A and B are shown apart, each in its own frame.
Chain A
Amino acid sequence: MTRACLLMLVALTTTMAAATTVVPMSVEELTRASARVVEAQVLDSWSTWNAEHTRIFTYSRVRVARALKGRSEEVVTVKQLGGSAGGYTMKVAGVRALSPGERTLLFLRPSQAGDGTWVIVGLMQGMFHVYAAGGHTMVSNGIHAAVVHEQRAGAPRQEAVRPMTLEEAESRVRGASTQ
C-alpha cells in the first residue's frame, strides 16, 4: 500500500456514502443481472452513429472462450455508448472501451434496443480485465474504492468486487447462477 493510498483510505473513511456515479455490485449481483457471463477475447471494434444521428455507439466483436452463465456462442457483439465517428467523439465517463486483443470477463444482457447486440451490466462494472499476476490469472473491474466503502459501512451486502483469481470469479458466478 502506497503512502498516498493510505492517505486516500483515511480520507475515504471520513465521509461515507455511495460512490458518485455507480454503486458497487458484487460478482453475485452482476451474475443475477446478467443473461450471459463469458470469458472472451476482443476481436475488433468499430463506432458509428445511430439511425437518429443522436448517439455514437461502439461495437466490439468478442470471441467467447467459454460461457460461465447462459448459452455459449462463438462470437458475441457487445455495444457500448460512445466512440468516434464522422468527425465527432462522444464520451461517457466511466465507460471503458474494449480494446482489440484484450482478454475480458463480461457480464452481459441483451440490449433493450432489440438489435441482437449485448450490453455490459452496470455500465463498466460488468467488464473485468483478465491479466496475469504472481503466477495467477487475475480479474478486476477496477472498483477498488467500493471495497473500502463496503468494509467501513459494514453493510450487509456481499463483498464488493476486488481483484480476484479467475477461478474464484468463476466459482462465484456459477454459485450465483444456481441460486
Chain B
Amino acid sequence: MNMRTVKMLLAIAGLLGAVLAPLPTYSYLLNLTVPMGGGAPQPDRWDFSSFPVVWNINPSHGSNIQGSRSVVDVIQASFNTWISAPNATLRVSRGADSSISSENASPSNVNLICFVCSDADFTKDAQTLAVTITTAADARGEPDGHGGTTRFAGQLIKADIIFNPQTQYTTDGGGSLQDLQTVATHEIGHFFGLAHSAVVRAVMSPAASNLRTLAYDDVAGLSVLYPAASPQVPTGAISGTVRLASAGVFGAHVYAQSVTMALPFASTIRKTPIGILTRPDGSYTIQGLPADSYVVIAEPLDGPVENDDVKGYSQAFGRTAVQANFTTRWH
C-alpha cells in the first residue's frame, strides 16, 4: 500500500448535507462505452422503449446445484430484488425458456441464463463462479438484434449470465456451498449495466459475500441508469473536485458516508456509503443520495478494491490506471 504523505487539496462543493437537485445526466461506477468516433464515455444501459427486455433461462442444471428451491425461483427472486429497488424503473421480465446449452450459440435476441454451458474457457476453473457477458452498441444506428437500430452509444442489446457447471451451488443459502442467489444478484447487477463498486458492502463489490439484498450504493447506481419518473425517496447530489498539488486526481474513490442513523430507504436496503470515481479532471458527482448528512471521503483505490478491479473505467478514459498516489482525506 502506498502511504506516502502528500499534500492533497480537496475542493468539494457541498460537503455536508445532500443538496436536493435534479440529477445530472452522467456519473459513476457504471460500465462505460466509448462512442465510435470519439466523445465522452457513455454508461451502458438498456432502453426499455426500444424492444422488450426479457431473460431466457435454460433451467437445466447438473448435480452441482443442490437445494430445495428451483433455479428458476432463485433467478426470479434475484431479478425481483433489482426490480423492486426504490427510485428506479426496470421493465424486464422472464421470457420463454431456452434450450441453448452452448455459450457460443446464444443468438443476439436471447438474454441467456445458463447453468450447463461448458464451452466457455472459464468453466475449467470451478473457482470462477459465473460471468455476465454484456453487449453494447458503440453508436446509434447499429442493428439492435431485434429488428431495429440502437438509439445511443452504450445501449445494451444483449446480456448472458453463465454459471459455471463445475461450481458447487446451493439454492438454499448457508453452508459451505456457494449461494446461488448471492451470485445471481451480483451478476444481474452487471446485466443492468453496473460495474464493480469499491463500496465493499455493496452487492456490486467484487468481493461481496452472502448478500442477497441491495445496498444504498447499488440503489444509487441503478437509479442513475434508470431513474423513476416519481422517485419514492427524494435524492440529491454532491459534486466537487479532488486535486493533488493543484492537478485533478483521476480515479480517486470518493464516497459519501452518512453521519446519522437515518434510514431513508426501506429496511430491506442496507445502509452503506455511496461512492464513485473521479473523472480525469478530478471532478465527481455523487448522485442518488437520499436526504441526510454526509461526510465525503476521498481515498486511493489501493485495496481491497484496486485499479485492476476497475480497469475498464481507466480504459474508457484512455488511461492505463487510476491514481493512487495520495492518502485518504475526509471532509
Chain A residues with CB under 8 Å of chain B are 1-5, 8-9, 11-12, 15-25, 29, 33, 50, 52, 54-56, 79, 81-82, 84, 87-97, 99, 102, 109, 111-113, 119, 121-125, 129, 133, 140-142, 144-146, 148-149
Q: Is the CB of B125 within 8 A of A87?
A: no
CB atoms of A20 and B209 under 8 A apart: yes
Across-interface contacts of A109 in B (CB, < 8 A): 121, 124
Q: Which of B64-72, B134-142, B229-237, B283-291 contacts A (4 or more CB under 8 A)?
A: B134-142
- Closest CB-CB distance, B204 to chain A, in whole Å? 9
Q: How far is the CA of A1 from the CA of B302 in the complex (A)?
A: 9
Q: Which B122-144 residues have C-beta < 8 A from chain A?
A: 122, 124-139, 142
Q: Which residue of A lies closest to B141 (CB)?
A: A87
Beta-carbon contact of B133 and A2 below 8 Å: no
Quick check: is B214 within 8 A (CB to CB) of the other chain? Answer: no
Asked if residues B134 and A91 are in contact (CB atoms below 8 Å), the reply is yes
Report whether B136 and A88 are in contact in the complex, using a CB–CB cutoff of 8 Å. yes
In the assembled complex, B245 has its CB within 8 A of some CB on chain A = no
Question: Which residues of B from 100 to 124 have beta carbons under 8 Å from A?
Answer: 103-108, 119-122, 124
Which residues of B have CB within 8 Å of A82?
133
Partner of A123, one of B103, B122, B137: B122
Contact residues in B for A52 (Cβ distance below 8 Å): 104-105
Tell whether, in the assembled complex, residue B133 and residue A141 are in contact, meaning their CB atoms are under 8 Å apart. no
Q: Does B243 contact A (CB under 8 A)?
A: no
**Cβ contacts under 8 Å, A148 to chain B:** 207, 304
Among candidates B121, B134, B206, residue contacting A19 with C-beta atoms closer than 8 Å: B206
- The residue that A112 contacts in the complex, of B106, B121, B128, B309, with Cβ under 8 A, is B121
Most buried by B among A50, A54, A89, A123: A89
Q: Chain B: residues with CB nearer than 8 A to chain A?
A: 1-2, 31, 33-34, 36, 44, 103-108, 119-122, 124-139, 142, 157, 178-179, 182-183, 186-187, 190, 195-196, 200-201, 203, 205-211, 253, 255, 297, 299-300, 302-309, 311-312, 315, 320, 327-328, 330
Identify B330's interface contact among A3, A22, A93, A102, CB under 8 A. Answer: A3
B127 adjacent to A8 (CB under 8 Å):
no
23 CB-based A-B contacts, threshold 8 Å: A2-B299, A5-B1, A5-B299, A11-B201, A19-B207, A19-B208, A20-B129, A20-B183, A25-B127, A54-B107, A84-B34, A87-B139, A88-B135, A89-B34, A90-B133, A91-B44, A91-B133, A92-B132, A94-B196, A99-B320, A129-B308, A144-B306, A145-B304
Alpha-carbon gap, A141 to B135, bound state (A): 25
Knowing A12-B200, A21-B183 are in contact, say whether A87-B137 is a contact too (CB < 8 A).
yes
Which residues of B sit under 8 angstroms from A140, Cβ to Cβ? Answer: 306, 308
- Kindly report which residue of chain B lies nearest to residue A25, judged by CB atoms: B127
Chain A residues positioned under 8 Å from B105 (CB to CB): 52, 54
B120/A81 in contact, CB under 8 A: yes
